[in-house]
Structure 1
Amino acid sequence: MDFFAGVRPLLFSYVLINGILITLQTKEEVLLDMRATGGEMGWLTWPLDQGDKPGWEVVQRTLNGSQFYTYSVCNVGEREQDNWLRTTFIQRRPAASRVFVELQFIVRDCNSFGDSSVTCKETFNLFTSESDADVGTTFRKGQFKKVATIAPDEITSKNELHINTETRVVENLSRKGFYLAFQDIGACVALLSARVYYKTCPATVKSLASFPETVAGGENQALREVSGVCMDNAISEELPRIYCTVDGEWVVPVGQCQCKSGYEEVKDACQECQAGFFKAAASGDKCEPCPANTQKLNSGALVCPCMDGFYRAPTDPPTGPCSGLPSAPRDLVATTTQLSTGKLLLSWQPPEDTGGRSDITYSIECQRCEGVVCQSCGEKIRYEPASTGLTDTKVSVSELDAHLNYTFTVEAHSGVSLFASQATPRANKPPSTSVLTTSLLYTDPPKITSMRLVERTSTSLSLSWDVFPRPRVQSRPIRYELTYRKKDDNLDVTTYIVLILEKNFVQISKLAPGTAYLFRVQALSSDGTPGGSSMEEQFETSLEERLTQNNTAVISCAAVGGAAMLFIVVMVLFLRRRKRNSHTRQGPEDTYFSSSEQLKPLKTYVDPHTYEDPNTAVLKFATEIHPSHITKQKVIGAGEFGEVYRGILKVPGRKEVAVAIKTLKPGYSEKQRQDFLSEASIMGQFSHQNIIRLEGVVTKCKDFFKHAMIVTEYMENGALDRYLRDHDGEFASFQLVGMLRGIAAGMKYLSDMSYVHRDLAARNILVNNTLECKVSDFGLSRVLEDDPEGTYTTSGGKIPIRWTAPEAIAYRKFTSASDVWSFGIVMWEVMAFGERPYWDMSNHEVMKAINEAFRLPAPMDCPSAVYQLMLQCWLQDRSKRPRFGDIVNLLDKLLRSPDSLKTIADFDPRVSIRLPSTSGSDGSPFRSVSEWLESIKMSQYSENFTCAGVVTMDQVLQMKNEDIKNIGVRLPGHLKRIAYSILGLKDQTSTLSVFAV
């Protein structure tokens, strides 16, 4: 069958156009380019001889004088197709652990082949195999591992050509080279182009640091750290680093370089500062012109020194301008505002020349003269606000004595005044002080400033007060007038009592108990005239008589309140006893496991296999969806019956939602169709937030009948085991237990419906974008009988040994108790971040170990309470295992008490890190670091160990946690895995096996 019949002209025109498009420059290093080779690729096809129905064939065409080759295969009429096309050996650059495979291809529509469409496919598979050398024409399928299922976005009909371009990533390459292989299983495919490349971050200069070309990191090293070297005359406090992304882009520079002092950045280089400019420190700043009053030096200056007569203050930056000394203040004036009370106001004008500074302050000096003798005023004089450090040009002076002369000196200061002794006076510089002499006379009495209560009784009050200014010893004594009255007196008939006193204190007797009085004190002048008065103050006598009455009232109230409280307590105890007697004594959380007397819920599930026609069950339990409401987008997996797509469901009147679409592959048998539809009939009966939700099915439309579909809700994060492996060490125990609680709740719902799952495993748990876990994959599930110990007995078929209870393996009998065993394995998978149960042991070894009472050890950092629940799930006697209701209750308790998760189960690194993790495959110690890393599934760090110079196992044994971090192992889970494995290696004295433990 000629694949290109009717479509070749379109094909060649596309290649010519696309040939221009692919010449765009990208950050890619090409390892293989099928189109650029322009000649026979020499790729290997398998099987070598297929008679009249060959597999992949090379087709040669001429375009613009150049040879053009494609590979095609089109055996759609034949069953059981398995055609392979393998590339030549592709050499890998050592650092390129992640490569991209870009494919351009055409896939023919199966509907265009008529009757041949029964076995026709519309997808093909991409495989890869690593090797340290070219194996020539030797080909073994077992050496290849699948990369992806390649599905077209658009398929080609007889008259309309659609060329698809898909890019896939091959991760974790570690050997010298690899092969790509394309497997056809019955499609009509033409491979037009295959291009293999890896991305690099190009050599660059950023922030004055030079970075070499670097191969982009892989899945496990999304950001590759690269060290750089500073350019000439540039320095950095820390080693300059930058990160290369998987897309070949430089991001997040750290520790940037900066030009040294005396240099500035000019076009990714450091150049000397020009003459008259300076730069004091290493920084990213430009050189600055020398500031005012400084000397201009030659190029490359670090600072500009001050000119003669100018200075920098100690607090000035060495890069700032220089300034001179201030001149004297001007126009000093004294204003006698209250001369009779010994108070005046000094004011002045700022200096005419501030020396170029704004930090001008002033100080006041005072001298007191009696006759011809002058001395410092000392601390007696008061200045408001102060005598030094003044920023305002005025100050208030008080506490002056009468009949004395005072001389005041005001001086201006600035930050450079300390250099005054070194200064060379500048021409016409005025003096820095001003002098004023004034004479004052003190005559008026002082004023009262405050009153205070000294002592009180029920009938007397003792008061004192302060005066200002205080009289001198030689001065005439001051007299005081004290006036007081009761506060509550009627103002119209108020009685005032007036006392004339010689002292500034008094005791007043014969007052009423518990009564407030108002007091006022005034100082009298020498002629008896009242001077400054105090504020009116209130004071109160004590309450001794009233206190006795109040105490009696308080005691009476307390007695009444106590009697009421006693009555309430008696009533509460009576009601509680009555309520306890009316209910059962055992609550759902009083015991760890449910009692055997608990009632079984009503069975609501109906087995679709009891229906003679599966379509009847589908119509009853599933909603039929019109195919026009469904849009397929991408292949996201391959199920038992066909491909699984991500798509969109848009039903009129409802919001558009993302869905997963399971398809029934062409050429199905009637039994396969019944099994396919029965899964929808099963899912349609469930409604629980932790069970995958069925949106509907497509079965009735004539054009789509052979493409029957099951449509479910879309879970963004996919299968739980893969999701946990991709996020190893990123979740706390509390979050992992929360995931397990959701799974247990879903299984309790199924168990309450007398339903057994049979295939409970982390791979069959789906996770959405809110980390909610939902049970899925009901292909192996069967209903239980009404008997609570009902089982499902199978006559054959596959059993997932690592997840299946021993009685189910031995007797093919499945119960909810066997699902509990499987749940224990799921718990181990979750706490071990997706590790494979029983590691690389064979199924036979697993069964033998379980029968000999071996149980999986606790994963790293697994809470003890969680591991104890696992062990309960793995009890040999199934009747003693907890039920899912008990499991949900226990997990709820743990989540309500996070402290219960802090106690960690005992951990043995020799057993818990994928045995044999401390010995080679032949029982001897590991021969190389790469062999050891591969055994613990950490081979992605082989290059990190090599670059750090750790190339022998003896060096590995000397490593500590800090050493592991320093070579680039950042993920907490990976760090612990490597560290614990090293600990196990140190403890190893002989070959270790599971059974020895």
Structure 2
Amino acid sequence: SLCLCLSPSLSLSLSLTEVLMNTKTETSDLKWTTYSRTKSESQWEEVSGLDEENNSVRTYQICQTDGSSSQWLRSKLIERRGASQVYVELRFTMIECSSRSTHHRSCKETFNLFYYQSDTDDATATHPQWMENPYVKVDTVAADFLLRKGGEKKFNVKTLRLGPLTKRGFYLAFQAQGACMALLSVRVFFKKCPAVTRSLSVFPETVPRSLVQEAVGTCVPNAEQPGPRSRPPKMFCGEDGQWVEQPSSSCTCRAGYEASAGELECKACPAGQFKLGSGSGPCSPCPESSHTGETGAASCVCRPGYHRAFTDSLDSPCTRPPSAPRSLFPQINDTSLTLEWSEPVDSGGRSDLSYSIQCSVCVSPAGPCTACGEGVSYRPAQAGIRGRRVSLWGLRPHTTYTFTVQALNGVSALSQQGPAGESINITTGRNGENQTGRSKSSERGADEHGCRYKESNSNQVVLSDLRRATQYEVQVRAQTQAGYSSFSPAKSFRTLPDGKKTHHASRYQAFDHNIRKSNVHSRLVDFTLGDDGCLREESGRGALSIQDPELSDKNEQYLMGQGVKVYIDPFTYEDPNEAVREFAKEIDVSCVKIEEVIGAGEFGEVCRGRLRIPGKKENYVAIKTLKGGYTDKQRRDFLSEASIMGQFQHPNIIHLEGIITASCPVMIITEFMENGALDSFLRLNDGQFTPIQLVGMLRGIASGMKYLSEMSYVHRDLAARNILVNSNLVCKVSDFGLSRFLQENSSDPTYTSSLGGKIPIRWTAPEAIAFRKFTSASDVWSYGIVMWEVMSFGERPYWDMSNQDVINAIEQDYRLPPPPECPTHLHQLMLDCWQKERTARPRFTNIVSALDKLIRNPASLKITAQDGAGPSHPLLDQRSPPTPASCGSVGEWLRAIKMERYEESFLQAGYTSVQDLLRLGVTLAGHQKKILSSIQALRVQNKSPNNILY
């Protein structure tokens, strides 16, 4: 099988790398500064060597015989060139302590990396002081590969990030304390986002100044913003040199231009097409009867003989005046006249048809004719008539008239030919003469519109020869010696299909499974005419039912009687592929562009890419791929996560975009979470968030879990590592795979219960460990552990205790203590989640409400546990904290409390106050508290730490 994941070098949105220093390219001596803590000369030595490509390079090497001495090496000043975060790539080798002939207890297989900022190149052999603070420690670097006698020769590559940088430049410093190593090369670089065009906006090359850097763009040529108050387009550049999200752009192509497929430019509309105004829409073909021979047209001109009315928009079709009315039908009654006519054959393509009457009187058939004048009255009007009937009064007897009926529409006034009309000559007579006679009970044939006329001298009529299953309209009017009355309002009826009344049974299935039948009655109407000429309606009733769709209750997806959606286990389907088809949308592989590999999952690689579905904006997505050579079971297990995820729709649950199963490799596509897993994100930003921000994250996680619990879904592996964070710090619950539990060689050990299966002990409720009883209540226990992880900025729960020790401690009712600076209310909520009886734990609904109250009352988050107060059931190891007396030396003591970075400072002097710790370079509040608590424990044993420190 062929993996579609592209390497970063093929990515279309690669970050730019600017190198600040690279020792591999240096051709002369580096001449870096060395320093030895002891009086002897520095053991760092600059030598020439060959790299893996046999190129000559300058390297530094050291092989200490005395591990107690501190050997320093410092670079020259490195200009930061506007970067706030830089990366240091180290290539080095390290000799294994056991392979050294002068092996001693102080031998180390690590070294320390520091940096020092300065606005001037003022570093000397004695300035700044060779110690942490003023130097800032980046990390203790350990070798992945150690050189052994007769072993394979491998070098190590480590990339470390340092910052924030604020001054002109900085020095790198390396500290060795017992190592035997060679520093092969040092490359210092920073990443910046390349100039890019997206969403019709051009963004310049941008150097990130913080976690994300806002970049302001401009519209591409022939694009514009809607108005003067529109905000300029913006996009964010991540610290890794990648544009982290789609731009917030208001740029749109102006009139006559449309966006290209990738929204990279505005292209002129081709000849024969137009775009009326600015906006996101495409060019359109010219409306009917219009054309344009130019490119970039904002409108099309009408063809000869066609027009647009002044009220018509420029994207309306061009139209023309209507043809003349047809079939004038006069009815004379002495000196009054009624004219009726049929619609024109051609309406000109418009619906605003009206009519006007022109009346002329002729003294003699051969003589001239003049306008009728004001003596003639018209009803309803002489012009602007919407119907097809007009009545005239005030005609003179024994006079010849010419009546012309003109048809007009909205463009008739624009035509040079004038409106079209049809004329008829009428000669009036005396009273009672020239009446239009009709035979009784006669029926005239249908006109071209299918209308039939039937006359009767009684007040009822029988309509015969009607078609079956046909809709009819009936209008009635009266006739007297004075002429015809107006038609009555139209009444409609429909003939039966087969002469019989038919019944269609319907069935509507509600959530309570009650069957309700609904009959919709139609009216069978007979029309009769009363003595006053008004229409009468006589009706009977006939039943007609409507077929309603059934609501499916497959697998009880909806709770009967309540309409609540519940989770459906995909493995309850006889064919699990059916669940995938039902809950996950298939996406065409052409819509997905894979850009880079960002990790590895159990089933294959995890990539970052883009998803562009027609009609929607392009979005970043995460793509899980199924590696080749899979079995049918592995494919089902892989896709089962999609069939689970596809059932959830919540802002705090990871969103499934869809799946790709029609091509290789099989993929699951989800929304992309820029900041990754919550635990590593918090560790990376230790101390950077306020309590109210942390509570906001916890509230989002609780809201997502509340949604899952209401759907009767039990997560079983709720932990900070399974919470993802996007660029807006929104936390979303993820990891719904059936095989999510970790293996034996995982970095996060699990405990195997007697019933088999892997359980993450540190996050799992006691009843789930003992009896494998997983419920929403066990998820609440896990949520309490997640709360502790968040408030401790990603600290490992129960620290380095073994799984069995954790189980024993929980059984003895010991619970985790509050993290440093943790609000008391939050720790109490954690303790509530860790109630031994699962029925005593709060529900996620209660947890969301409790967190909402804290958010509405930020002052409550300032209440923290006093020093030494602790919870009612703190987690204890049944042993006293490590002290210098119990460890035998200061170095062992600091290593026992994981504070070995301050070993050299404590060797020189013994200080116990916070001010003294600051002077020693202990600047983090958590580290100060940890060291002082250990010293306080020593005082409790009535021993002076100063005696031991000296």
TM superposition score normalised by structure 2: 0.43
If each structure's helix is expressed as a fraction of its own residues, which one has the higher value?
1
> Higher relative contact order by CA 8 Å / sep ≥ 6: 1 or 2?
2
